[in-house]
């Protein structure tokens, strides 16, 4: 990290940011020019050392607790897109509605197919709704940076023996003991995280040997990104800080001590998203 405290004013109000180097290999962000997907004041960089694509400034965590809640910038971004392309926006919103139901079942279905119960962790758990359908035997835990959402999740999780922590994930993970979790869900979370590698390293620590994490992130390597360019739905400034491809996700997972697998359908180039299972050795 090169510095912090810069304040930008934008359509989301003033926001304190800090600079980020390449989150995969640590190469300084100064060595890459702003790429073609940049949008003032956010520069999208393509790391010349490892090829990882990322925004080189992240909103300060403290800002995200209240003023910079994701749901707020997400709404503004949706408005911007609605103004850009009203027709296809409506179409994609319908598609998203259908897709919204499917991935939740995919995480649950996958986890339930491998284990019968245990402590499960949802990183970026929001209000906790994704854990609601987990059957008895699973004890839900979560970490969420939005104070309001974390309070809702905490109430729901406590009824089932778990709880939710209101913190940045890397900090929240440190509060759990080693090997505490059987499984974790990282659904539409890792692309938002300013410190994805430290988070994955902490995650490897709190997962039991043989434990695993189910990950869903936008696939920067998708056909749609190549075709749509700047209008690809995976670009969100500055909500989406990391733009993974199957290769860079596998490499980052490997640096954190995980083995990534995508199955037969986890990285289809025709999908805007990819699914991976990160496995911790042992067990």
| Residue with smaller CB distance to Zn ion, 25 or 69 | 25
Task: Verify binding: residue 243, Zn ion, rule CB under 5 A.
Answer: no
Cα–Cα distances in Å, from 259 out to 25, 53, 134, 252, 253? 18, 21, 25, 10, 7
Cβ atoms 7, 14 nearer than 8 A: yes
Q: Identify the CA nearest to 271 among candidates 226, 235, 232, 222.
A: 222
Q: Which stretch, 49-57, 93-101, 177-185, 241-249, contacts Zn ion (CB under 5 A)?
A: 49-57
- Residues 4-43 binding Zn ion (CB under 5 A) are 22, 24-25, 27
Q: Where are the alpha helices (DSSP H) in 115-139?
A: none
CA gap 58, 70 in Å, rounded: 13
Q: What is the DSSP string of 243-259?
A: E--HHHHHHHHHHTT-E
Closer of 47 and 249 to Zn ion (Cβ): 47
Dmax (CA) for the chain in angstroms is 51
| Helix residue spans in 51-85 (DSSP H) | 61-65, 70-84
Q: Quick check: 48 binds Zn ion (CB under 5 A)?
A: no
Residue 52 interacts with Zn ion (CB under 5 A): yes or no: yes
What is the smallest separation between the CB atom of 48 and Zn ion, expressed in angstroms? Answer: 8
49 binds Zn ion (CB under 5 A): yes
Is residue 50 near Zn ion by the rule CB under 5 A?
yes
Q: Kindly tell me which of 33 and 137 has the beta carbon lying closer to Zn ion.
A: 33
Decide whether 52 or 141 has the Cβ nearer to Zn ion. Answer: 52
Q: Which two tokens stand for residue 17?
A: 């940011």
Residue 12 CA, chain-centre distance (Å), reads 21
Minimum distance, C-beta of residue 30 to Zn ion, in the bound complex (Å):
13
Interacting residue with Zn ion among 17, 47, 111, 214 (CB under 5 A): 47
Check binding of 213 to Zn ion (CB under 5 A). no
> Applying CB under 5 A, which residues contact Zn ion?
22, 24-25, 27, 47, 49-50, 52
């Amino acid at each position: 990290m090169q510095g912090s405290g810069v304040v930008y004013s934008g359509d989301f109000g003033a926001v304190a940011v800090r600079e980020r180097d390449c989150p995969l290999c640590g190469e300084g962000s100064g060595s890459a020019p702003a790429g073609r997907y940049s949008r003032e004041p956010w520069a999208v960089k393509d790391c010349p050392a490892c090829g990882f694509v990322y925004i080189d400034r992240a909103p300060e965590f403290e800002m995200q607790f209240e003023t910079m809640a994701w749901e707020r910038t997400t709404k503004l971004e949706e408005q911007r897109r609605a103004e850009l392309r009203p027709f296809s926006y409506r179409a994609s919103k319908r598609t998203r509605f259908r897709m919204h139901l499917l991935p939740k079942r995919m995480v649950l279905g996958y986890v339930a197919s491998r284990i019968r119960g245990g402590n499960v962790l949802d990183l970026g758990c929001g209000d906790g709704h994704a854990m609601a359908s987990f059957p008895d035997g699973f004890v839900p835990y979560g970490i969420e940076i939005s104070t309001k959402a974390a309070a809702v999740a905490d109430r729901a999780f406590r009824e089932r023996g778990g709880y939710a922590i209101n913190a940045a994930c890397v900090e929240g993970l440190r509060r759990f003991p080693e090997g505490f979790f059987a499984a974790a869900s990282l659904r539409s979370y890792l692309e938002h995280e300013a410190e994805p590698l430290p988070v994955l390293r902490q995650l490897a620590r709190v997962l039991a040997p043989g434990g695993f994490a189910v990950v869903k992130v936008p696939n920067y390597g998708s056909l749609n990104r190549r075709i749509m360019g700047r209008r690809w739905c995976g670009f969100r400034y500055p909500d989406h800080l990391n733009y993974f491809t199957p290769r860079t996700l596998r490499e980052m997972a490997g640096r954190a001590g995980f083995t990534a697998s995508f199955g037969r359908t986890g990285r289809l180039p025709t999908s805007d998203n990819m699914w991976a299972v990160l496995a911790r050795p042992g067990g």
